[in-house]
Amino acid sequence: MLLLIFKPMRKYRFLFIVILILELVKGCTKNDAGKDLTQLTVGTRNLGNFTPSTLISYKRPEGYIVQLSSDTITFTILFPELKSGNYSITNESLTEGKAFFNIDFKQSSYSASSGSVSITDTSNNSISGIYSVASASKGFGDSLTISNGKFTKVQIGSFVYSSIEDYEHNQYKTVEIGTQTWMAQNLKSRIYANGNSIKEVYRYSDNDNLTNIYGLYYTWNSATNNSAIEMSQGVCPMGWHLPSNSEWQQLLGNLGGELVAGGKLKSLVSWNVVNVGADNSSGFSALGAGMHHPVVEYPDLSERMGYQSFFWSSTFDTTIFDISTAWSVSIDNATRNVLRSPYYRTDMGFSVRCIKN
């Protein structure tokens, strides 16, 4: 009797083993399929798969941008040109054959320093490609890596810049943001629209070659042409004026408010890493131009280059103990924020962006 019972048990045991093996094979097949998904890893910790829900692409003065976003993560890739081929990821200088790659979480941001991106197709006004990040850092902690990344047929959005000219025939791109039209480059004129020379204007790091990129620094008095009237023309071309504090507020409101607008205003180039949240989705293209500090012993001293950018408003604040201050706007590489402040001295040298009347 025992033998009769044992034989059926052996039969079912064999069947159980066969079923178990089939389940394991099925499990391995699922895992292998998972390896085709984009994987994020920080140190030795796997963060799981990245599946973007929003894919957009657009052209900006610094190049072509592809942005891949989920609810919690955004990848921003910058190419110097729209051309099929392989690009090495860098966080230093964007040159031919190089690409920038930034990774933004809600609480932190990473800048990739090595890896590769390949553009595989640019037909029908779209862009497709694959990517992998070998190393990305947020300045401290473990490095982030990305494998098996891809984007397919991301449509390139249309975006048109206009232009204006100053008294010296310098050309500037302009961009519409909401109902406002702004200069998309820093002013570099040394002459007012009436032909008079501008005093209290300084070069970027005492270098004429960099003026074409970063513009010039102006004191508040030179930027306003010594006018205390808000929205005066000041140093701007005909038909344009120096924006008031309220006009800056309106711009930031159009971009989601002061806590996030910085990322939408910042260019992806010229800033030190990590350039938090930068995507230049507004087209404003703010550069890390720093400021000029009014130290008598160093008349061409530039500070905070790559870390911050400062812009004057036409709104005067106050004079206390012979020190005058005016409202300004500052952006920095380490946050998405924009700071409006009434506390900077009017003899500081800041960048100027004009707004259309």
Domain boundary among 132, 157, 182: 157
147 with 166, same domain: the answer is no
Higher-pLDDT residue of 160, 282: 282
149 with 80, same domain: the answer is yes
- Is residue 136 in a domain? yes
203 with 344, same domain: the answer is yes
Number of domains in the chain: 2
* CA–CA gap between residue 120 and residue 304 (Å, rounded): 39
332 with 191, same domain: the answer is yes
Instruction: Tell me which residue range forms the domain holding 212.
Output: 162-356
178 with 318, same domain: the answer is yes
- Is residue 31 in a domain? no
Question: Lowest-pLDDT range, 18-27, 87-96, 258-267, 275-284?
Answer: 18-27
192 with 171, same domain: the answer is yes
Quick: pLDDT tens for 14-50: 443 333 223 323 333 333 334 567 899 988 888 889 9
Higher-pLDDT residue of 62, 140: 62
95 with 242, same domain: the answer is no
Quick: pLDDT tens for 270-280: 999 999 999 99
63 with 49, same domain: the answer is yes
Quick: pLDDT tens for 296-350: 555 556 788 899 999 999 999 987 778 899 999 999 999 999 999 999 999 999 9
- Is residue 75 in a domain? yes
Residue 290 has pLDDT above 50, yes or no: yes
201 with 344, same domain: the answer is yes
Quick: pLDDT tens for 200-244: 998 877 778 888 889 999 999 999 999 999 999 999 999 999 999
151 with 284, same domain: the answer is no
What's the pLDDT at 322? 80
- Is residue 339 in a domain? yes
- Is residue 40 in a domain? no
- Is residue 209 in a domain? yes
82 with 225, same domain: the answer is no
343 with 197, same domain: the answer is yes
Is the Cβ–Cβ distance between 198 and 220 less than 8 Å? Answer: no
Q: What is the 3-state secondary structure (H, E, C) of the chain?
A: CHHHHHHHHHHHHHHHHHHHHHHHHHHHHHHHHHCCCCEEEECCEEEEECCCCEEEEEEECCEEEEEEECCCEEEEEEECCCCCEEEEECCCCCCCCEEEEEEEECCCEEEEEEEEEEEEECHHHEEEEEEEEEEEECCCCCCEEEEEEEEEEEEEECCCCEEEECCCCCEEEEEEECCEEEECCCCCCCECCCCCECCCEECHHHCHHHHHHHCCEECHHHHHCCCCCCCCCCCCCCCEECCCHHHHHHHHHHCCCCCCHHHHHECCCCCCCCCCCCCCCCCCCECCCEEECCCCCCCCCEECCCCEEEEEEEEEEEEECCEEEEEEEEEECCCCCEEEEEEEECCCEEECCCEEC
What's the pLDDT at 265? 98
**Stretch 67-72: mean pLDDT, rounded?**
94
Domain boundary among 157, 181, 213: 157
Name the nearest CA neighbour of 177 among 243, 242, 251: 251
What's the pLDDT at 207? 76
Instruction: Give the percent of the chain with pLDDT over 70.
Output: 87
Is the Cβ–Cβ distance between 357 and 179 less than 8 Å? Answer: no
What's the pLDDT at 30? 35
Q: What residue type is assigned to position 92 of the chain?
A: E
What's the pLDDT at 310? 97
Domain boundary among 124, 157, 190: 157
- Is residue 218 in a domain? yes
What is the band of 295 on the pLDDT scale with cuts at 50, 70, 90? low
pTM: 0.85
What's the pLDDT at 121? 96
- Is residue 2 in a domain? no
